[in-house]
Amino acid sequence: MSKKKQIDFDKINAALDRLAETLPRRAGVYMLNHSKKAFRDQGFTDDSLSPWAKRTTKNAADIRTGKTRAILFDSGNLRKSIIKRKETFEEVAVGSYGIKYAARHNRGLKGMPERKFVGKSRVLNKKLTDLCFKEFKKALEA
């Protein structure tokens, strides 16, 4: 005779409540890492990596060392300005805050080439979808 497994709905509910608290934070970390990775990769990944346009000017350090510095790395302030702004179960927002020129670089405005570091990405969406499925499955198996 086989035993039927009892479903503990209270346990599943508790696991889903925990998931509602932790999943937005984890998704935010994935999004933040994806945006900061653009600076290391020197390009943005949607389906695949789209390298940023090369710089056309050199600064004094480039001339002195004979090397061209990485794009958007002069002070590091732009990369550091990318933060998780909102983390709720309904919405997670990551963006650059406090840097006036961020949108010009990200969207390619006012004669600047687009050097996207925040935005929609199929690769990121796949990672987030996989995370959600994995975590929901764990919660339901609790």
Tokens of 90: 């309904």
**Spatial distance between the Cα atoms of 82 and 28, rounded to a whole number of angstroms:** 11
- The total of other beta-carbon atoms located within 10 Å of residue 44's CB is 24
- pLDDT value for 5: 77
Place of tokens 């990775």: 37
| 2 pLDDT above the threshold of 70 | no
- Single out the residue of 3, 19, 4, 32 nearest to residue 142, CA to CA: 19
pLDDT digit string, tens, across residues 89-131? 999 999 999 999 999 999 999 989 999 999 999 999 999 999 9
What does the DSSP 8-state code read for residue 58? -
For the residues 70-97, what does the mean pLDDT come to?
93
